[in-house]
Structure 1
Amino acid sequence: MYGISARPWGYEVSLVRNGVRYACLFGYASYGGPRQALRRAQAWRDIIVKEHPPVTRKERAQTLRSNNRTGEPGVSSRLSAQGKPVAWLAKTYLGNEETLRTEFDLADWGHAARTLAIGERQRQLARMVGLARLHPAEEAIRTRLSPDDEAALPPKRSKSEIVRRNNTSGVSGVQFKTPRAGHPGYWVAITYTAGQGSVSRSFSVRTLGYDVARDMAIAERQQQLQEKTTGDGASK
């Protein structure tokens, strides 16, 4: 996929525009699975492509290359066998195998040959139109309508909603723990708040039974999240 690379944990989007790299990560856990993460990655890539089109062909043609020795893009000198300039050349590739080329001999034009070549190069550039072609997918992305609006895209989960790999309940923030071998264990609901520590509550399997303790821990976790959201809103 253009601009999107699959990673073990999700997708990475990376595009370069005029020397600036635009990158963003979309993890499976953060968006609820591979399909949702890919939709988000594609939507973000499409926004970057549309908001940051490639430079025009004319702009790119005026970039000074590292092997240029004249200081003028598209303008070069033709040397004699002795290595001395004998002519100045203006050259521009327009595309479709069409190349404009005009030469000004020093024998005919003297020191004005270089100036004439520079002027001719500008006239050649005036015939160059369109954007630089980066990838076949670029044009299709820029011209098509977005398949998803923001409301239809899967939202990014908060850290408190992400189910970790070591989670045994299938519910974020709810875990089963056993303090020692032979202990029936307990279900615990825990919620962290940045800068404020954590809130937790345990439910004994011995007292409540395995399923009831689990269900109560899940309900407690939802209550903790609700109180956290209410508290965050009140503090703003």
Structure 2
Amino acid sequence: MDNEVSRTHGWLVTIQRRGVIYRKHFSDGVHGGKQKSFAAAKVYRDEIIANYPPFSMREYSNIVKKNNRSGVVGVCRYCASETRDMPEEKQRWFWVASWPLPDGRRKRVKFSVKKYGEDGAFNMALTARKDALKKLEGEFDPGAVRRKPRRRSKAASQASA
């Protein structure tokens, strides 16, 4: 943070863990310069991360959201969009299971109510999600989707071939 108007120079660490925000400013003047304040900020950040590790993917995947209507995290009832405006007997309904992938994308599988029945489709969605979460490893990274993998140039991919 370098703000000439307020004469504020330093580093700001902000980390949120389980609803608690840890925030601390490290002034260049107090710590004896930009490098020393940066080093102090990194020490503080590392302490917070060590004491309050991020959610595991499995923990994050089991948080009940406010808009949950099925009663089960990651399982919802869904009407196919192309049939939504049709009469009820022509609508196509599904139970959908979804879960996060390590790269931040989501995997979804749907089970037809018409084909498997209401309870059958719901139970299949539950089982699919439960099985997928057993395989889920690693920490939750909320920024993973925004960070797209870098594309290699044609020259780089031809050189490695």
Asked if TM exceeds 0.5, the reply is yes
2:111/2:122 contact within 8 Å kept? no
Structure with higher RCO (Cα < 8 A, 6+ apart): 2
Q: Distance in 2 between matches of 1:47 and 1:19?
A: 18
Q: Does 1:132 align with 2:140?
A: yes
1:11/1:38 contact within 8 Å kept? yes
Q: Distance in 2 between matches of 1:88 and 1:134?
A: 26
Q: Distance in 1 between matches of 2:118 and 2:45?
A: 53
Unaligned runs of 5+ in 1: 137-236
**What displacement does 1:74 show?**
1.7
The one-letter code sitting in structure 2 at the alignment partner of 1:109 is: G
2:74/2:129 contact within 8 Å kept? yes
2:11/2:37 contact within 8 Å kept? yes
Q: Matched residue of 2:12: which SS?
A: strand
Alignment of 1:49-68 (within 5 A): 49-68=49-68
Unaligned runs of 5+ in 2: 145-161
Q: 1:108 to 1:29 in 2, by over 3 A?
A: closer
Correspondence for 1:123: 131
Alignment length (residue pairs) = 132
1:89/1:101 contact within 8 Å kept? yes
Correspondence for 1:89: 96
**What displacement does 1:50 show?**
2.9
2:113/2:120 contact within 8 Å kept? no
Q: Distance in 1 between matches of 2:9 and 2:99?
A: 46
Correspondence for 2:48: 48
Q: Distance in 2 between matches of 1:49 and 1:82?
A: 53
Q: Distance in 2 between matches of 1:135 and 1:91?
A: 19
Correspondence for 1:21: 21
Correspondence for 1:34: 34
Q: Distance in 1 between matches of 2:41 and 2:111?
A: 50
Q: How high is the TM-score relative to the length of structure 1?
A: 0.45
Q: 1:51 to 1:6 in 2, by over 3 A?
A: farther
Correspondence for 1:180: none
Rg bigger for which structure? Answer: 1
Q: 1:89 to 1:34 in 2, by over 3 A?
A: closer
Q: 1:52 to 1:115 in 2, by over 3 A?
A: same
Correspondence for 1:108: 116
Q: 1:6 to 1:13 in 2, by over 3 A?
A: farther
- After superposition, what is the alpha-carbon deviation per residue over 1:74-130, rounded to whole angstroms, capped at 9, x for unaligned? 212133644677332223343467835141525533434323422332112112111
The one-letter code sitting in structure 2 at the alignment partner of 1:47 is: E
Identity level (%): 23
Q: Distance in 1 between matches of 2:48 and 2:95?
A: 41
